[in-house]
Structure 1
Amino acid sequence: MSITLGEKLRQAREAHGLSISQVAEQTRISALYLGYIENDDFRNLPGGIFNKGFVKSFAKAVGLDEQEALHDYAQLI
């Protein structure tokens, strides 16, 4: 079973001991949007380039490869 982008981000965030609120503060992305990303629920995000920016910033904040995260996101849309 393959791990989803949202799961990867959540696991990395938890491994760094960060809360959603802490990542939201660091990235300036709404905690609500970060929760949607962790749940792979991209329909509730603004869309387009904003989503890519959110994924990239989230990945960077939790120590994941940004380009790999964007690649995973591209596979979902």
Structure 2
Amino acid sequence: MVDGASVARLIMNDSFGTRLRAQRERQRIGLAAIAHSTKINVALFEALERDDVSRWPSGIFRRAFIRAYAEAVGLDSV
């Protein structure tokens, strides 16, 4: 039997990108739709979901891009 605490531990063990992708999939939103609405290259969001931000801009732009993704999938961006 799986209890709520076990599920919470499983979720918390997932990477940041995995949790973002899971939320996007729960909302049934495609990456192309997010890229179109935010005007941010879909390849950057694909990389984010793989936890690869090596080609991402740094600083304020990185923060703004992640906020845009979070808002697009219905997460609190604060």
Scaled to the shorter chain, the TM-score interval is 0.7 to 0.9
Number of matched pairs: 67
The alignment's TM-score, normalised by the length of structure 2, stands at 0.77
The alignment's TM-score, normalised by the length of structure 1, stands at 0.78
Q: CA deviation at 1:12?
A: 1.0
Q: CA deviation at 1:32?
A: 0.6
Select the residue among 40, 45, 48 that pairs with 2:59. Answer: 48
Q: CA deviation at 1:46?
A: 1.6
Match of 2:37 in 1: 26
Between Structure 1 and Structure 2, which shows a larger proportion of helix residues?
Answer: 1
Taking only aligned residues, the RMSD between alpha carbons, in angstroms, comes to 1.2
Greater Cα radius of gyration, structure 1 or 2: 2
Match of 2:22 in 1: 11
Unpaired stretches in structure 2, ≥5 consecutive residues? 1-9
4+ runs deviating over 4 angstroms: none
